[in-house]
Amino acid sequence: MRVVCLAGGVGGAKLADGLQQIVAPGELTVIVNTGDDLERHGLTVCPDHDTVLYTLAGMADPAQGWGIADETFEVATRLAQLGEETWFRLGDRDIATHIFRTERLRAGARPTEVALELAARLGVRTRILPMTDATVRTRVRTDAGWLDFQDYFVRLRQEPEVREVRYEGIAGATVAPEGREALRSAEAIVVAPSNPIVSIGPILAVPGLLAEIAAARGRGVPAIGVSGIVGGKALRGPADRMLAALGDEPSALGVARRYAAAGLLDVFVIDRADEALGGAIRALGLEVVVTDTIMNDAASHAALAREMVSAAAAWAARSSSGVRP
Ligand code: FO1
């Protein structure tokens, strides 16, 4: 089954790893959020892309989920001695990725081309595509004013309340040809348990992307998502607080409402802990699957991926036989 997965950072990388374990080689495409990208020390850094890349290459730091395992920080230490700001710490090995990317971009390659080259050089067969080749930067409005995403996320440790979110540059963005082709040939679309506002939100906001998903769903391709909020708490990061501050319920139901409002999904997966929310989510017009959604090792990544792909296939089989769920 040809699968396209929409993903942010750590949660997206875990599900992508599960999908890579169960989908035939070459049949998986991951479209990643680029709203978190930034320039650091003159280098272009793409955190969500690199988290997915390192995870799929088996190189990710298992404790923090992002960055490279057994990393050292000699360059960051030396930069700090030179008086540079190093609150966003680039590891020594990680820096090689950013140098490679920045050189290729300066030579005129598109971000999608560079992403494909990086995956090939690291031996990753999954296609990891930036959501767009345009420059999009997520910014958040807090009581301290508008902040760049990593300023809020890393420097201020997600402490300020987020009052508003903006994806700067999104109006001029388009889906790159490789992403469009992947969506046009997809047999299932999977939305990872990433932050619905600052990870999946920017991807869905790329002009034309939701229309591609709608066209795929019109052809009978199932779209299935999973909540990254379990028992009212985000598995990682500030999604629960963000949802509440923006007036949504901080729960799997709040996530489902956002995706239902966008017309994104057919099926929504929730954790057993949230079974009681199933009725309200079904009332949004989504089929609900209740299962274990917490991913903490390779086997649990694969288990959730398998559950999602088989639920998607079952939905597609029922819908093509005319039996609507
Ligand atoms: N997260 C941190 O909390 N502190 C860091 O210093 C940091 C550096 C960093 C460098 C490269 C990279 O690819 C990711 C990095 N991250 C760091 C993670 C990143 O800020 C976030 O996890 C994502 O942007 C949110 O998905």
pLDDT at 323 over 80: no
Q: For position 212, what pLDDT does the model report?
A: 98
Please say whether the beta carbons of 300 and 292 come within 8 A. Answer: yes
Work out the pLDDT band at 321, boundaries 50, 70, 90: confident
Q: What is the mean pLDDT of residues 178-198?
A: 98
> What CA–CA distances, in Å, run from 270 to 128, 198, 273?
26, 20, 8
293 φ/ψ angles, rounded to the nearest 5 degrees? -110, -5
Third-level CATH fold of 3-140+168-320: Rossmann fold (3.40.50)
Query: What's the chain's length in residues?
Result: 325
Please state the atom number of ligand 1 nearest to the C-alpha of residue 8. Answer: 26
* 88 CA to centre of ligand 1 in angstroms: 7
* 287 CA to centre of ligand 1 in angstroms: 34
* 66 CA to centre of ligand 1 in angstroms: 7
pLDDT at 186 over 90: yes
CA 103, 108, 112 angle in degrees (round to 5)?
Answer: 85
* 231 CA to centre of ligand 1 in angstroms: 25
* 317 CA to centre of ligand 1 in angstroms: 40
Q: How do the domains of the chain map onto residue ranges?
A: 3-140+168-320
Please state the atom number of ligand 1 nearest to the C-alpha of residue 51. Answer: 13
* CB distance 151 to ligand 1 below 6 Å: no
* CB distance 91 to ligand 1 below 6 Å: no
* CB distance 249 to ligand 1 below 6 Å: no
* 90 CA to centre of ligand 1 in angstroms: 9
Minimal-distance CA residue to ligand 1 atom 19: 47
Q: pLDDT tens, 198-237?
A: 999 999 999 999 999 999 999 999 999 999 999 999 999 9
Minimal-distance CA residue to ligand 1 atom 7: 88
- The answer to which of 37-41, 84-88, 172-176, 320-324 has the lowest mean pLDDT is 320-324
Q: What is the mean pLDDT of the chain?
A: 96
Minimal-distance CA residue to ligand 1 atom 12: 47
* CB distance 73 to ligand 1 below 6 Å: no
Q: For position 163, what pLDDT does the model report?
A: 96
> How much of the chain, in percent, has pLDDT values that exceed 90?
96
Please state the atom number of ligand 1 nearest to the C-alpha of residue 90. Answer: 10
CA 300, 124, 190 angle in degrees (round to 5)?
Answer: 50
Q: pLDDT tens, 45-89?
A: 999 999 999 999 999 998 998 999 999 999 999 999 999 999 999
